Amino acid sequence: MMRVMTRALRALGAAALLAGASQASAADFPTRPITMIVPFAPGGSTDLVARLVAAKMGETLKQQVLVENRGGAGGNLGAAAVAKADPDGYTILMGTVATHALNPALYKRMPYDAAKDFAPISLLAIVPNVLVVNPNFPAKSVPELVEMLKKEPGKYAYASSGNGTPLHLSGELFKKIGEVDMIHIPYKGAGPALVDVIAGQVPIMFDNLPSSTEHIKSGRLRALGVTTATRAPSFPDVPTIAEGGLAGYDTYTWNALFAPAGTPKEVIDALNAAANQAVADPTVKAKLADFSATVVGSTPEALGEHVQKELAKWAPIVKESGAQID
């Protein structure tokens, strides 16, 4: 009996020590570099936001925040890696509308649960998309484009950065609300799609505003409307698509930080404070404003609610578009 009691006491003592060590490590967080996984290739708007935020978070946390690009499967590979990582705050995800709202509706088999497998940290920024056309295309406004599309259904095509991307679904929402028909041509990224639209191979495109900005300013593209509910500060003269007659049209890309589910609250709080301080930094805000990103910097709870709303919003749109990926 005494031996059994001794073993039990030792087990309890070990558990207490482990719990104490865990609490101490959470309180001391971070004691080594943090890896921020970007689930897309370098060079896109998500990568840009990540590198701006990571650098400033590192200054606040007194530890490096290293950006690691791990693209593939529309963002699923990188997101899954974070979902399966140790819940200690040292591996975090720069998530997007794709990883946490679109992919769950698009993919038949998901390697993670967007709501259950992550601990929200902060909604950092919202980035507008934009409807652009080749400058030689006759339509000079959204109403003119809608009129053309209704007059000759299925004649014109629009480009996007790929099947099931936010830009593809921005086009599908345009078709639904505008009651028009046009052909979708998916590309392997925004870069090659822009090349063909500028060259006149495809007349219409939905794109992230950051990657189209210089082409709009130079006249190589004509912006017909931004996809958000309000106009973009960097292009105040470009109306919203909703202003062009498609009431209720509102799409955008967003960037948010997530940790694996089960990450201690003290660690989440430290990451949240550092992330929000990063996006509030005047230099970071100015760079984000260059491509009309709206800085948010939310609580973890607000990000969790945002994800639920986005999942509910996009599921029926994806279903109606017919887009699905095995």
Per-residue pLDDT of the chain (326 residues; tens, 9 = 90+): 545 445 555 555 544 544 454 454 677 899 999 999 999 888 777 888 999 999 999 999 999 999 999 988 889 999 999 999 999 999 999 999 999 999 999 998 999 999 999 999 999 999 899 999 999 999 999 999 999 999 999 999 999 988 888 899 899 999 999 999 999 999 877 888 999 999 999 999 999 888 898 999 999 999 999 999 999 988 999 999 999 999 999 998 899 999 999 999 999 999 999 999 999 999 999 988 877 788 999 999 999 999 999 999 889 888 877 777 86
Q: How far apart are CA 321 and CA 176, in angstroms?
A: 9
Domains of the chain by start residue, with CATH: 31-126+253-321 (3.40.190.150), 128-226 (3.40.190.10)
pLDDT of residue 325: 80
pLDDT of residue 205: 97
pLDDT of residue 301: 98
Burial class (CB in 10 A: 0-12, 13-18, 19+), 184: middle
Beta bridge partners of 36: 67, 92
Cα–Cα–Cα angle for 108, 111, 116, rounded to 5 degrees: 105
Residue type, 196: D
pLDDT of residue 41: 80
Q: How far apart are CA 303 and CA 144, in angstroms?
A: 38
Q: What is the CA radius of gyration of the chain?
A: 22
Token readout for 307 is: 């994800």
Residue 127 near residue 290 (C-beta atoms within 8 A): no
**Residue labelled with tokens 């930080």:** 257
**Residue labelled with tokens 């967007």:** 114
pLDDT of residue 18: 46
pLDDT of residue 10: 57
> At a CB cut-off of 8 Å and minimum separation 6, what does 97 contact?
166, 252, 253, 254, 310, 314
pLDDT of residue 7: 53
Q: How many CA atoms lie within 13 A of 92 on its CB side?
A: 33
For 120-133, b/e burial (b = at least 16 CB within 10 A) is bbbbbbbbbbbbbb
Distance of CA 5 to the CA centre of its chain: 54
For 186-211, b/e burial (b = at least 16 CB within 10 A) is ebebbeebbebbbeeebbbbbbbbbb
Indicate left, alpha or beta for 118 from its phi (over 0: left) and psi (-120 to 50: alpha).
beta
